[in-house]
Amino acid sequence: MSNLEIFAVLVNVLGVWLTARRTPWCWPVSVVAVLLYVWIFYDVKLYSDMLLQVLFAFLQGYGWWRWRTGRVAEGKVRIEPLPLRLALISLAAGAMLSVLLGAGMAHFTDAAVPWLDATLTGYSLVASYWAARKFVASWWLWIALDAVYTAMYYIKGLPLTAVLYAGFILLAIYGLRAWQRDLVRQPAPGRPLEASV
């Protein structure tokens, strides 16, 4: 456990808490968090996860832009249920990316756990896309992914990061419940929304 890991954990907790609160500032905070983990994952040879953090930095910008367009009156983003067709397409894309990335990491690198790391990376991109699109189902996928991440980080000697991801499970459950509750309470789509700032 390093000072860098401790700082990265604190910034990550703040980012997920802001996401659960549906506050658009979650995105720039999360950029800092993912960039810190690029270095951490490089050190433990989780190269797919390292690549994921780089991609996350770009996805944070996309998420921030998406969330700034579609806020409801109380300043929170409008959330949506995930359409079945998009869910199936997204999950298939995650599977294809996982296989391609896993094969590349297993064949061309000394990655510690190439297939598991690649699978988690593929589906984390799906969950991030769903979150950026403001789909409630993103929380379900994060809960499943974070459970597996917790075990992997513990085994790889990142105990504080394992605790962080166990905490992410709790934050994801909180986010899921809050978004489900707010989905029922938010104004109907036809009603005027607050202009984005």
> Is residue 113 classed as helix, strand or coil in its secondary structure?
coil
Tokens matching residue 144: 């499943």
Tokens matching residue 76: 């929170």
Q: Model confidence over 46-99: pLDDT tens digits?
A: 999 999 899 888 887 877 777 776 666 565 667 888 999 999 999 999 999 999
Question: Hey, what's the torsion of the CAs at 151, 130, 78, 180, to 10 degrees?
Answer: -50
* pLDDT, averaged across the chain: 87
Question: Which residue blocks in the chain are alpha helix, DSSP H?
Answer: 3-20, 26-43, 47-68, 84-108, 114-132, 138-155, 159-185
Strand partners, 135: 80
Rounded to whole angstroms, how far apart are CA atoms 176 and 113? 30
pTM assigned to the model: 0.79
Q: Output 135 or 56, whichever has higher pLDDT.
A: 135
Q: Model confidence over 146-196: pLDDT tens digits?
A: 999 999 999 999 999 999 899 989 989 988 998 898 888 876 665 544 433
